[in-house]
A = this chain, B = another copy of it.
Amino acid sequence: MPVNYATPAPDQLFAVAGVRLGIAEAGIRKANRHDLLLVELCPGSRVAGVFTQNRFCAAPVQVCRDHLSRAEIRALVVNTGIANAGTGEPGMAAARETCAAVGRTLGLAPEQVLPFSTGVILEPLPVERLVAGLPATVSDLKADNWYGAAHAIMTTDTVAKAASRRIQLGGKTVTVTGISKGAGMIRPNMATMLGFVACDAALSPELTQKLVKAAADESFNCITVDGDTSTNDSFILIATGQAGNREIADAGGGDYALLAETVTAVARELAQAIVRDGEGATKYISIVVEGGRDVAECKAVGYAIGHSPLTKTAFFASDPNLGRILAAIGYAGIPDLDVSRVRLWLDDVLVSRDGGRNPEYREEDGARVMKQAEITVRVDLGRGTATGTVWTCDLSYEYVKINADYRS
Most B CB contacts (10 A, CB to CB) among A55, A124, A326, A408 go to: A55
Task: Answer whether residue A321 sits at the interface, using C-beta atoms and an 8 A cutoff.
Answer: yes
| A337 CB contact (under 8 Å) in B55, B91, B324, B357 | B55
Summarize A's interface: helix, strand, loop or mixed.
Answer: loop
| A229 CB contact (under 8 Å) in B87, B90, B185, B331 | B331
Q: Within the oligomer, what is the number of copies of this chain?
A: 2
Task: Answer whether residue A57 sits at the interface, using C-beta atoms and an 8 A cutoff.
Answer: yes
Q: Chain B residues near A334 (CB, 8 Å)?
A: 55
Q: Chain B residues near A408 (CB, 8 Å)?
A: 317, 319
Whole-angstrom distance between the alpha carbons of A322 and B316 in the complex?
Answer: 28
Task: Answer whether residue A382 sits at the interface, using C-beta atoms and an 8 A cutoff.
Answer: no
Whole-angstrom distance between the alpha carbons of A121 and B329 in the complex?
Answer: 13
On whether the beta carbons of A357 and B321 are closer than 8 Å, the reply is no
Whole-angstrom distance between the alpha carbons of A20 and B303 in the complex?
Answer: 44
On whether the beta carbons of A327 and B54 are closer than 8 Å, the reply is yes
Task: Answer whether residue A160 sits at the interface, using C-beta atoms and an 8 A cutoff.
Answer: no
Task: Answer whether residue A226 sits at the interface, using C-beta atoms and an 8 A cutoff.
Answer: yes
Task: Answer whether residue A19 sits at the interface, using C-beta atoms and an 8 A cutoff.
Answer: no
Q: Chain B residues near A148 (CB, 8 Å)?
A: none
Q: Chain B residues near A307 (CB, 8 Å)?
A: 227
On whether the beta carbons of A56 and B329 are closer than 8 Å, the reply is yes
On whether the beta carbons of B309 and A403 are closer than 8 Å, the reply is yes
On whether the beta carbons of B340 and A88 are closer than 8 Å, the reply is yes
Using CB atoms, name the residue of chain B closest to A318.
B404
* Known A-B contacts A88-B340, A326-B86, A397-B397; A226 and B310 likewise in contact (beta carbons under 8 Å): yes
Task: Answer whether residue A360 sits at the interface, using C-beta atoms and an 8 A cutoff.
Answer: no
Most B CB contacts (10 A, CB to CB) among A56, A317, A354 go to: A56
Interface size class of A (residues with CB under 8 A): 35 or more
Task: Answer whether residue A249 sits at the interface, using C-beta atoms and an 8 A cutoff.
Answer: no
Whole-angstrom distance between the alpha carbons of A189 and B43 in the complex?
Answer: 55
Q: Chain B residues near A85 (CB, 8 Å)?
A: 323, 326-327
Q: Chain B residues near A395 (CB, 8 Å)?
A: 309, 400
| A121 CB contact (under 8 Å) in B317, B327, B331, B403 | B327
Q: Chain B residues near A401 (CB, 8 Å)?
A: 397
Q: What would 17 more interface pairs be, CB under 8 Å, given A231-B326, A400-B400?
A: A54-B327, A56-B326, A85-B326, A86-B327, A86-B357, A88-B354, A122-B351, A227-B307, A228-B309, A231-B327, A309-B309, A309-B395, A313-B399, A313-B400, A313-B403, A319-B408, A399-B400
Instruction: List 19 interface pairs A-B (beta carbons < 8 Å), by A numbering.
Output: A55-B335, A56-B326, A56-B329, A83-B323, A86-B323, A86-B327, A88-B355, A90-B356, A122-B322, A122-B351, A122-B356, A124-B357, A185-B324, A228-B308, A229-B331, A314-B404, A317-B404, A317-B405, A319-B408
Pairs A-B, 7 closest by C-beta atoms: A121-B323, A88-B356, A56-B330, A122-B323, A317-B404, A229-B331, A313-B403
